[in-house]
Amino acid sequence: MIKPLLTYYECDEDVIAFSTTRHGGYSKGNYGELNVNSYCGDDPADLSANLQLLASELSIPVDRIVMPHQVHGIACRAVTDDLIALSQKARLQLLDQVDSVMTDVKRICIGVSTADCIPVLLYDPVHHAVAAIHAGWRGTLQGIACHTVEEMSHHYHTVPHDLKAIIGPGISLKNFEVGEEVYGAFASAGYDMDRIARKYIKWHVNLPLCNRIQLEQVGVKAESIVDTGICTYDHVADYFSARRLGQASGRIYTGILLKE
């Protein structure tokens, strides 16, 4: 029997936090093996089988795995029992053009899809709420991590000082080469470029560090932020990397759920 291989993160005994890898599924080629994202062109039968494997691993029904259709914006959606109960069409509409999701409902797995972008997970142990953030360079530039913390504060009365955060697998500074316009955009946004950027032949930007800086700026304690340090570009055998495999390839799903 095929068993999905997940990278689990130590966060809290009341949550399960993880990222999928490329191992332990049915997908083939650049989607192989464990792709669960339906927006990247994978075979629907393989995708369905992989979702069943993931649901079994998490001991929840497939319909309690939540995955938004991301567009590199900063829209955040609260996931409730009412959303889960909607028809598939209505549910997909509510999750369209959404780049972060949050919930305080137990046994709902919320997550985001990445293949070099930065996934960030948040857990509020006081109000028992979680969030998952898709932070590509555009979302990072727009402050999606800050925005999601603000949304958690609004919906769940989260205090940033209480949050625990995990920065999951994504592209590293040495592999994230950018053009002058992207470098300029980060400079214009007020980032300390000496801290977040390096020039090799071209400029490179440290996206994981940018998201750490955002979290610290809104009040998350530095010691409560765990950066996995996994570079998807360097570890393409284990994690999907669009820069290595192309856009027609699988995606990592980085998720978090509150236990019963």
pLDDT 10s digits, 170-193: 999 999 999 999 999 999 999 999
What per-residue confidence (pLDDT) applies to 54?
Answer: 98
Give residue-wise pLDDT tens across range 218-253.
999 999 999 999 999 999 999 999 999 999 999 999
What per-residue confidence (pLDDT) applies to 1?
Answer: 72
Give residue-wise pLDDT tens across range 47-57.
999 999 999 99
Average pLDDT, stretch 92-98? 97
Give residue-wise pLDDT tens across range 135-160.
999 999 999 999 999 999 999 999 99
Q: Which residues contact 190 (CB under 8 A, 6 or more apart)?
A: none
Q: What is the mean pLDDT of the chain?
A: 97
Helices (H), the chain: 44-58, 81-85, 88-94, 137-141, 144-156, 180-188, 193-196, 207-217, 242-245
What share of the chain in percent tops pLDDT 90? 99
Whole-model pTM? 0.98
| Residues counted in the chain | 260
Among candidates 161, 98, 126, 116, which has minimal Cα distance to 251?
Answer: 116
Alpha-carbon Rg for the chain, nearest whole angstrom, is 17
